């Protein structure tokens, strides 16, 4: 768990010593993934299509293997998103946002990311100290012309995913 900046004196000192440019980068970047954050998404240029995704089963992974294992999966996911040349933004937790020029572009790249993440086993340390290899991760996504539409599409995809299990 991250310490609150107001009571994390080391972080507070570091922020106070930042230049305006460094502070702007820090404000627009996710500490967990290094990707641009939701604020950067909101402040950036508008795109004709956006997408929203979240990782399936993250709570179960965290419960069984601990939050550090979930963080490893989130970081791996961020790497996969960049590798397929998406324009990803880390919103919060396991939620990511994307900008794209077309539905087809986002769908093709997110489908490719699904295959890559599914095919990459993940080595994690369980809460009891044992090392385990788990199958790659899964995620659902929704695409729309705005975030509200993308969120509705994501919820629909999650429902379909539950039915097919």
Residues 6+ apart with CB under 8 A from 59: none
pLDDT grade for 127, boundaries at 50, 70 and 90: confident
DSSP for residue 34:
S
Q: Which fold has domain 45-164?
A: Alpha-Beta Plaits (3.30.70)
pLDDT tens readout for residues 2-59? 555 456 667 666 666 667 666 666 678 888 899 999 999 999 999 999 999 999 989 9
Other CB atoms within 10 Å distance of the CB of residue 62: 17
Extract the tokens encoding 43: 């402040």
pLDDT of residue 143: 98
Residue with tokens 């900008």: 99
CB neighbour list of residue 128: distance below 8 Å, 6 or more residues apart: none
The domain spans of the chain are 1-28, 45-164
pLDDT in tens, 66-105: 888 899 999 999 999 999 999 999 999 899 999 999 999 9
CB atoms closer than 10 angstroms to residue 22: 12
């Amino acid at each position: 768990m991250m310490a609150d900046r107001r009571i994390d004196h080391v972080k507070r000192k570091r922020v106070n010593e930042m230049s305006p440019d460094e502070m702007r980068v820090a404000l627009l970047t996710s500490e967990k993934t290094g990707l641009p954050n939701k604020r950067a998404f909101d402040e950036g240029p508008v795109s004709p299509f956006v997408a929203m995704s979240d990782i399936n089963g993250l709570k179960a992974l965290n419960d069984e293997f601990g939050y550090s294992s979930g963080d490893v999966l989130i970081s791996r996911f961020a790497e996969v998103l960049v590798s397929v040349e998406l324009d990803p933004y880390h919103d919060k937790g396991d939620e990511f946002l994307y900008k794209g020029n077309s539905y087809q572009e986002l769908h093709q790249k997110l489908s490719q990311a699904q295959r890559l993440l599914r095919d990459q086993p993940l080595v994690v340390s369980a809460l009891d100290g044992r090392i385990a290899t788990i199958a790659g991760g899964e995620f659902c996504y929704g695409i729309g012309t705005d975030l509200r539409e993308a969120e509705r599409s994501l919820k629909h995809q999650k429902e379909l995913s539950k039915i097919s299990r």
